[in-house]
Structure 1
Amino acid sequence: MTTPWGVSELARFPTDPRDTLRAWDAADEYLLRHLAGTDDAPPVDLSGSVVVLGDRWGALTTALTAAGRHPVQITDSYLGRQATRANLARNGTDPEGVRLLSTRDTPPDRIDVLLIRVPKSLALLEDQLHRLAPGIHEGTVVVGTGMVKEIHTSTLRLFERIVGPTRTSLAEKKARLIFCTPGSLPDRGGDPWPLTYTLDADAGAGAGLAVTNHAGIFCAERLDVGTRFFLQHLPQGTGASRILDLGCGNGVVGTAAALAHPGAEVLFVDESFQAVASAEATYRANLFEDEAGGKAEFGVGDAATGIPADSVDLVLNNPPFHSHQATTDATARRMFAGARDVLRPGGELWVVGNRHLGYHVRLRRLFGNCDVVASDPKFVVLRAVKR
């Protein structure tokens, strides 16, 4: 990526030679040009406290660090954080010298420049603006960026309501900037997140569970139809002593599995910090570890990386097939391969997915077998056994 301060070598994480997607786009380039003052505007003073929210693969953080600034990065994505670390090192910067925070960490007390890569989730933007608002002052420079298709009227209204008067730039290469002037907003209101609700009787093994959803997780305001279908067909009484809810989201699947397997240890793993926080809150609201003799662990990570091989009896998985705006099966591939590595011989992987994704083909290649447990016109539940 060529920036006003030089050329940065960037890659997504984990690196995959088959992946043709770049680690930056026109929105990142547009914002960096604006900051440097190369688009017929004065440069932005970056000498104070600079916070970068939602930097997807570390392009903004890496470029600003190359310019001699040391921004604080805030992200919900473990993969985004790891990409930032790798890209900083790739460009000659010690990653330990840059402050990398998650969306669950306490934000800086004072923010002089706030740079926002508009997220796909409007709820996550709302939550983070509320969390950052106490550190914003009248002199704070607030600039957002995104592709035109990512910025809607509702996006601008959020900036207006939580931060102050907002306007947008002209579009360039299908990217746009958002300029927001902090002001006194007595009607800002409180942060509505997290949301909680109780599942109805149609939720199968999840019926009656209290669910907690932090902002930004998939279908945070309701139970999505794929998970509902999965809950209706979860394995019961398999004798599993160690269960992995892989890509756990709000944790309802792993919590239901814990109830169905008293005494089992359940691992909840997701690459989203918001998701893992949701999963822990959901589990704690419905189970106490000393009641059933089991226990739970909660971890943010890339698929099953870091879990010992041959250590899990049952893996439950509802893999995503989007990475930001791109449709890809790369995450599912890593999850399936990771599941096979961590399963004990005889252990089972249960997967729910849209029928058209053809997961059964890949599972048969990996495991040598794949059974259809249940299906309807839209979804299918598959089971693969490690031989």
Structure 2
Amino acid sequence: MPEFPYSRLRRWPDVEADNLQAYDATDLLLVERALSLDIPGSDTVVIGDEYGAITLALVEAGRHGIRVHQDLATGRRALMRNAEELGLAVADGRNGDQGTPVRRVTPQHAAGESDGLGFGGSFRPGELDAELLTGAKLVLLQLPKSLAELEEIADAVARWAAPDVVLVAGGRVKHMTLSQNEVLGRSFAQVQAQRAERKSRLIVASDALPVSAEPPFPVTAQHDGLTLVAHGGAFAGARLDIGTRVLLDALALQPVQHEGGAVADGAAAPHVLDLGCGTGALAVSYALAHPDARVTATDRSAAAVASARATVAANGVADRVTVTHDDAASALPDASVDVVLLNPPFHLGASIHTGAATRLFEAAARVLRPGGVLFTVYNSSLAYRPELTRLIGATAQVERTPKFTVTRSIRRAETAES
């Protein structure tokens, strides 16, 4: 069997750089372990496959009908693009908020085959739920950064997969902790760490334990009249993170309407975008403070979107706040937004990288109308103000604490120069 062409995989539409690649040694170890087991693709679930390295390598090796869950919209699109590039078949399935079957790519390896569950083709995207996991005998997992996310995943596997399911989780040794073993031990009687290889390590969990009547997530917390709901994979959980709190405090003191006090011609209310919404704290807080506003909240994380939708419902603003699973607001038209609220990430996976913030600044520049306003909060050491001025327009400091800076950028009329 020829070696899988990992080097042909791309991260697109995620940030691409010389020091960022679309696979790592953990992906290879998970693929090798899966191929060593006599478990068909139809009984296999892959969770956390960032760009498709695990799923597509297994498909290439003849494992078809695999079910896949990726949290990030960028990862889902990268998987589809890499599948198309390599000529691997894609099964119909749920993929984010589209509500339509995933586009089928011409198969080269699985023509006419069926996985026995009616899925057909090579792999099928899905959400973290019973439909994804029912009947699964092997679950391959790239360990998430968050212990809360790991707890939610482990509980889901124990709750919905086959009684004899084996969960094989892997990660880079430098990012692994004994706490991960302890979390897995809450859902599985047997948790065994394997010998490290190529600076990665696998953990094998088996003998699923009985689950509680209700899943451990989502969780809920109250914050001065704001109810936050969070799934395990949502940044900061049900807490109100410091950066968001600083931005909310600054917004309370600032006029945030479209520059000049006007909104788009014919619009009944200003259109406000919470870009990278997380649990929806900014979007819901804005909607509660400005009943006339139309708010869109968007995030590339499926866990964040599920959390934000629950937060919107819990605060009674579902008639004014729409939450979408999207990458950098790609579904919004150009020049369609009056105000953007942004608390950008400064990590890509386990690496500190400002590329993620730059993509969101560029997205804000695209969706803002001329004269529209971007409010951004960021770690002061990152000094984003020159970049915001270049990409958006005139940028002024609104607030500064010992750790965070809040800026107000006004979208210039002409297109920003690259």
Same fold (TM over 0.5): yes
Q: How far apart are 1:245 and its partner, in Å?
A: 0.2
Q: Secondary structure at the match of 2:274?
A: strand
Cα 1:285–1:195 change in 2 (3 A) is same
1:337-366, Cα deviation, whole Å (9 max, x unpaired) = 111111111100100000011110111111
1:240-272, Cα deviation, whole Å (9 max, x unpaired) = 610000000011111111123222110000001
1:79-105, Cα deviation, whole Å (9 max, x unpaired) = 111111111111111333420113367
Corresponding residue number in structure 2 for 1:57: 51
Corresponding residue to 1:228 among 245, 249, 270: 245
Corresponding residue number in structure 1 for 2:139: 114
Check whether the contact 1:53–1:114 (CA below 8 A) recurs between aligned residues.
Answer: yes
Cα 1:182–1:137 change in 2 (3 A) is farther
1:118-157 aligned at under 5 Å gives the runs 118-157=143-182
Equivalents in 2 of 1:127, 1:343: separation in Å? 36
1:359-374 aligned at under 5 Å gives the runs 359-374=384-399
Corresponding residue number in structure 2 for 1:91: 86
Equivalents in 1 of 2:152, 2:35: separation in Å? 29
Q: How far apart are 1:218 and its partner, in Å?
A: 1.1
Cα 1:263–1:188 change in 2 (3 A) is closer
Corresponding residue number in structure 1 for 2:228: 211
Amino acid at match of 2:383: G
Corresponding residue to 1:7 among 5, 8, 13: 5
How much identity, in percent, do the aligned residues show?
A: 38
Q: Quick check: 1:164 aligned with 2:182?
A: no
Corresponding residue number in structure 2 for 1:203: none
1:118-163, Cα deviation, whole Å (9 max, x unpaired) = 1111111111221222333343332111111232212112222202
Corresponding residue number in structure 1 for 2:218: 194
Q: Does 312-321 or 235-244 show the bigger shift?
A: 235-244
Amino acid at match of 2:229: T
Q: How far apart are 1:117 and its partner, in Å?
A: 1.1
Corresponding residue number in structure 2 for 1:281: 310
Equivalents in 2 of 1:73, 1:141: separation in Å? 16
Q: Please, which runs of 5 or more residues in structure 2 have no aligned partner? A: 91-103, 105-120, 264-269, 413-418
Cα 1:215–1:46 change in 2 (3 A) is same
Corresponding residue number in structure 2 for 1:259: 288
Q: How far apart are 1:227 and its partner, in Å?
A: 0.9
Amino acid at match of 1:7: P
Corresponding residue to 2:358 among 333, 344, 353: 333
Corresponding residue number in structure 2 for 1:74: 69
Check whether the contact 2:343–2:377 (CA below 8 A) recurs between aligned residues.
Answer: yes
Q: How far apart are 1:188 and its partner, in Å?
A: 6.1
1:47-95, Cα deviation, whole Å (9 max, x unpaired) = 5511011111111011111112121111211111111111111111133
Equivalents in 2 of 1:299, 1:164: separation in Å? 38
In the alignment of these two chains, the number of paired residues is: 368
Q: How far apart are 1:113 and its partner, in Å?
A: 1.3
Check whether the contact 1:137–1:182 (CA below 8 A) recurs between aligned residues.
Answer: no
Q: How far apart are 1:33 and its partner, in Å?
A: 2.3
Q: What RMSD in Å do the two structures reach over aligned CA positions?
A: 2.1
Equivalents in 2 of 1:242, 1:225: separation in Å? 25
Cα 1:168–1:44 change in 2 (3 A) is farther
Q: Does 70-79 or 235-244 show the bigger shift?
A: 235-244
Q: Secondary structure at the match of 1:274?
A: helix
Cα 1:15–1:127 change in 2 (3 A) is closer
Check whether the contact 2:279–2:305 (CA below 8 A) recurs between aligned residues.
Answer: yes
Cα 1:16–1:282 change in 2 (3 A) is closer
Corresponding residue number in structure 2 for 1:175: 200
TM-score (norm 2): 0.83
Cα 1:165–1:354 change in 2 (3 A) is same
Corresponding residue number in structure 2 for 1:204: none
Q: Please, which runs of 5 or more residues in structure 1 have no aligned partner? A: 38-42, 200-206
Equivalents in 2 of 1:346, 1:189: separation in Å? 52
Q: Secondary structure at the match of 1:120?
A: coil
Check whether the contact 1:53–1:117 (CA below 8 A) recurs between aligned residues.
Answer: yes
Q: Secondary structure at the match of 2:9?
A: coil
Equivalents in 2 of 1:245, 1:124: separation in Å? 23
Equivalents in 2 of 1:58, 1:46: separation in Å? 18
Equivalents in 1 of 2:390, 2:24: separation in Å? 34
Equivalents in 1 of 2:163, 2:311: separation in Å? 38
Equivalents in 2 of 1:281, 1:130: separation in Å? 20
Q: Quick check: 1:375 aligned with 2:393?
A: no
Corresponding residue number in structure 1 for 2:326: 301
Q: Quick check: 1:355 aligned with 2:390?
A: no
Q: Secondary structure at the match of 1:181?
A: strand
Q: Secondary structure at the match of 2:46?
A: strand
